[in-house]
């Protein structure tokens, strides 16, 4: 039921809205057909990022893809928890939990072991539009623990102008969701994997800016 | 004549049929040629023609469907053009409220245009928006860079909404003893404007030597410009049956559309050069952005409207 709702919501409402009103272009460099499980990594500028990625995914992949949200912010009441669950299939992680509790990496790892896919923003919080800030190590740890799961790099461009940090007003602006090819990390050290993931996103960014004959880099 | 339940004047139907026929023929030719001997130029030509085909479908809807459908269509084109101009320009975060209000101008302006409310149509953007937007910018309290935004936002509104919306005024223009009506006038305007682009390009390629504006648009030559407007004048004479005009008036209109189209193209070219971009977007394959295609329409539409009104009075 929840899955059918999400399919209709993203496929028939959000996707056309993003495409025809907001001005988001979806670009794919590979298909998801042969991909059962993956970790999506993207640069993060806007609250709109996760919604755009979910809308860009093929409808049959939606059911296993989970987003991650701050439990201390979104999970404070049953209603907001329900909304996060229904619309975003979100894993709520409390940032202010005690040291003795399980680490967030362990929680996410368990979801991966159950065959689910994740959307991660390794920059942590939303940075300045167009600038890639330092990546956190969590993504690399997860990839190292699950060597058979590839990561799919995504470069998001312009969404920071559609809905910047701390703003509520949605503004139509031409923007791009660019999916890269799925990659299995070649390295096995955490630091090297982080570098590999970052390089993949930067490569997409460069390609995007080169192909883009208009607008600013 | 009836097409899909809409009354269509035979003249309009014939012209549209010719346009679609020629486009299909070109499309077929380019497709065969690009399959036979693949080259980037052929692919580009094929893409360009295919986009023209979709544009022609839009024009067909505008001249055949009820005027409300045409109004919605043109206002959506205005919306995309506005979004494009906003996306390529530098704006501050403090401008966001004003930008949102700028989008709201589209339905309001097209409402006035659709109902033929000439007074508010004329003053809404140049007066109300021109005052309202700077006020909103001032209320944001951030003055660094505000002068640029104050100039840029109203100018973009004029270019993308005000000028283009004149096309909808044609629907409510009443001309005695003229049966074809708005569809003929719109077709005349669009044919003259589009073919003027093609004529100027072709004459420039054939005979062009001396550049008019080497620093703005190096492809523009005197031969292209003069050959282009003269050919457009000639075209206007041959399709004057779409309008209530006499031969001389049609030629004058054709020449003016030629000059205006050229200038509109130059204005957008200059803006792109300043921003160091090649195209305003990538929505139309083979052409670039919507504004790359609309550049000449922006100037020809209001000039055509006011000259027409002048002639028929």
Contact B273, B234 (CB under 8 A): no
- Supply B33's token pair: 């040629």
Dist CA B263 CA A99 (whole Å): 69
pLDDT value at residue A106 = 87
The distance of B88 to chain A (nearest Cα, Å) reads 5
Q: Strand pairing partners for A41?
A: A120, A153
pLDDT value at residue A68 = 87
Contacts for B77 with CB less than 8 Å, ≥ 6 apart? B58, B164, B290, B294
Q: What pLDDT band is residue A215 in, cutting at 50, 70 and 90?
A: very low
| Residue of B88, B93, B99 lying closest to A215 (CB–CB) | B88
Within 10 angstroms of residue B137's Cβ, the number of other Cβ atoms is: 23
Span A70-99, pLDDT tens digits: 888 777 788 888 888 888 888 888 877 776
Q: Say which CATH superfamily domain A2-211 falls into.
A: Glycerol-3-phosphate (1)-acyltransferase (3.40.1130.10)
Three-state DSSP class for residue A137: coil
Verify whether the Cβ–Cβ distance A158 to B87 is below 8 Å: yes
DSSP type of residue B124: I
Three-state DSSP class for residue A172: coil
Cβ of A23 under 8 Å from any chain B Cβ?
yes
| Residue of A169, A214, A216 lying closest to B280 (CB–CB) | A214
CA closest to A209 among chain B residues: B277
Task: List chain A residues with CB under 8 Å of B96.
Answer: 164, 167, 169, 171
Gyration radius of chain B's alpha carbons: 20
Contact A105, A138 (CB under 8 A): yes
Strands A24-28 and B6-7: unpaired
Q: For residue B238, what are the CA distances in angstroms to A112, B152, B303?
A: 70, 40, 20
Verify whether the Cβ–Cβ distance B279 to A213 is below 8 Å: yes
pLDDT value at residue A216 = 43
Nearest to B120 by CA among B87, B162, B86: B162
Dist CA B153 CA B91 (whole Å): 9
Alpha helices in chain B, H assignment, sequence order: 10-36, 40-64, 67-88, 96-114, 118-123, 130-139, 146-157, 163-169, 182-207, 222-238, 247-275, 290-312
Cβ of A161 under 8 Å from any chain B Cβ?
yes
Nearest to B59 by CA among B50, B51, B67, B70: B70
Find which of B84, B282, B284 to mutate to test the A interface (most A CBs within 10 Å of its CB).
B282
Element (H, E) at A157: strand A151-157
Q: For residue B247, what are the CA distances in angstroms to B175, B234, B253, B254, B285?
A: 17, 10, 10, 11, 37
Three-state DSSP class for residue A154: strand
Question: Looking at the predicted complex, does its ipTM rise above 0.95?
Answer: no
Please provide the DSSP assignment of B249-308 as one string.
Answer: HHHHHHHHHHHHHHHHHHHHHHHHHHHT-S-S-SSBTTTBSHHHHHHHHHHHHHHHHHHH
Contacts for A98 with CB less than 8 Å, ≥ 6 apart? none
How many Cα atoms within 13 Å fall on the side-chain side of residue A80? 10
DSSP type of residue B221: B
pLDDT value at residue B259 = 97
Q: Map B109-120 to HEC letters.
A: HHHHHHCCCHHH
| Residue of A164, A169, A212 lying closest to B100 (CB–CB) | A169
The distance of A12 to chain B (nearest Cα, Å) reads 20
Q: For residue B244, what are the CA distances in angstroms to B109, B116, B168, B176, B259?
A: 27, 20, 18, 9, 22
Q: What residue segments make up the domains of chain A, in order of their start? A: 2-211
B→A contacts (Cβ < 8 Å), by residue, are 79-80, 83-84, 86-88, 90, 93, 96-97, 99-100, 103, 277-282, 288-289
Place of tokens 């998001």: A156
Verify whether the Cβ–Cβ distance A174 to B281 is below 8 Å: yes
Question: Is residue A33 scored above 80 in pLDDT?
Answer: no
Average pLDDT over residues A157-186: 89
Q: What pLDDT band is residue A217 in, cutting at 50, 70 and 90?
A: very low
Contacts for A102 with CB less than 8 Å, ≥ 6 apart? none
Task: List chain B residues with CB under 8 Å of A169.
Answer: 96-97, 100
pLDDT value at residue B263 = 95
Cβ of A98 under 8 Å from any chain B Cβ?
no
| pLDDT per residue as tens, chain B (313 positions) | 777 777 788 888 999 999 999 999 999 999 888 888 878 888 888 888 999 999 999 999 999 999 999 999 999 999 999 999 999 998 998 999 999 999 999 999 999 999 999 999 999 999 999 999 999 999 999 999 999 999 999 999 999 999 999 999 999 998 888 888 899 999 999 999 999 999 999 999 898 888 988 888 888 899 999 999 999 999 999 999 999 999 999 999 999 999 999 999 999 999 998 888 888 888 888 888 899 999 999 999 999 999 999 999 8
- Supply B172's token pair: 């409510």
Verify whether the Cβ–Cβ distance A173 to B277 is below 8 Å: no
Task: List chain A residues with CB under 8 Å of B285.
Answer: none
Element (H, E) at A212: none
Please provide the DSSP assignment of A21-70 as one string.
Answer: II-EEEEESS-STT-SS-EEEE----THHHHHHHHHS-GGGGGGEEEEEE
Three-state DSSP class for residue B92: coil
Verify whether the Cβ–Cβ distance A167 to B96 is below 8 Å: yes
pLDDT value at residue A211 = 64
State the virtual CA torsion across B67, B69, B70, B76 in degrees, nearest 10: 140
The distance of A129 to chain B (nearest Cα, Å) reads 12
């Amino acid at each position: 039921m929840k899955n059918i709702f999400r399919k209709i919501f993203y496929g028939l409402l959000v996707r056309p809205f993003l495409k025809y009103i907001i001005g988001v272009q979806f670009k794919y460099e590979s298909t998801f057909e042969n991909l059962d499980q993956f970790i999506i990594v993207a640069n993060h500028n806007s609250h709109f990022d996760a919604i755009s990625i979910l809308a860009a995914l093929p409808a049959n992949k939606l059911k296993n893809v989970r987003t991650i949200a701050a439990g201390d912010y979104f999970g404070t009441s049953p209603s907001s928890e329900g909304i996060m669950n229904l619309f975003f299939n979100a894993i709520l992680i409390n940032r202010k939990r005690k040291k003795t509790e399980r680490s967030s990496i362990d929680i996410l790892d368990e979801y991966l072991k159950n065959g689910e896919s994740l959307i991660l923003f390794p920059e942590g919080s939303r940075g300045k539009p167009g600038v890639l800030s330092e990546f956190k190590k969590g993504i690399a740890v997860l990839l190292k623990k699950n060597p058979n799961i590839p990561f799919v790099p995504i470069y998001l461009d312009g969404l920071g102008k559609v809905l910047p940090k701390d703003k509520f007003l949605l503004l139509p602006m031409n923007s791009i969701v660019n999916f890269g090819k799925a990659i299995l990390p070649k390295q096995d050290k955490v630091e090297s994997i982080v570098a590999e993931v970052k390089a993949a996103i930067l490569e997409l960014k460069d390609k995007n800016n080169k192909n883009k004959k208009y607008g600013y880099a | 004549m009836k097409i899909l339940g809409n009354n269509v004047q035979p003249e309009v139907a014939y012209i549209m049929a010719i346009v679609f026929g020629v486009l299909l023929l070109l499309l077929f030719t380019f497709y065969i040629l690009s399959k036979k001997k693949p080259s980037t130029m052929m692919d580009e030509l094929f893409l360009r023609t295919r986009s023209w085909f979709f544009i022609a479908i839009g024009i067909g809807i505008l001249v055949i469907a009820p005027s409300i459908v045409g109004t919605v269509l043109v206002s959506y084109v205005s919306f995309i053009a506005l979004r494009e101009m906003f996306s390529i320009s530098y704006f501050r975060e403090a401008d966001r409220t004003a930008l949102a209000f700028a989008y709201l101008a589209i339905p309001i302006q097209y409402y006035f245009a659709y109902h033929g409310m000439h007074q508010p149509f004329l003053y809404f953007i140049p007066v109300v928006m021109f005052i309202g937007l700077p006020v909103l910018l001032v209320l944001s309290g951030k003055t660094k860079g505000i002068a640029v935004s104050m100039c840029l936002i109203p100018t973009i509104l004029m270019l993308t909404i005000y000028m283009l919306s004149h096309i909808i005024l044609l629907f409510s223009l009443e001309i005695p003893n003229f049966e074809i009506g708005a569809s003929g006038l719109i077709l005349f305007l669009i044919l003259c404007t589009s073919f003027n682009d093609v004529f100027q390009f072709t004459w420039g390629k054939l005979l062009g030597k001396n550049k008019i504006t080497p620093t703005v648009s190096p492809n523009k030559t005197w031969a292209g410009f003069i050959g282009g407007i003269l050919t457009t004048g000639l075209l206007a004479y041959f399709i004057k049956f779409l309008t209530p005009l006499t031969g001389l008036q049609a030629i004058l209109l054709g020449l003016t559309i030629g000059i205006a189209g050229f200038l509109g193209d130059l204005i957008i070219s200059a803006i792109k050069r300043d921003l160091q971009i090649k195209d305003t977007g990538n929505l139309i394959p083979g052409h670039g952005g919507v504004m790359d295609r609309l550049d000449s329409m922006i100037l020809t539409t209001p000039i055509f409207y006011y000259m027409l009104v002048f002639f028929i009075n």
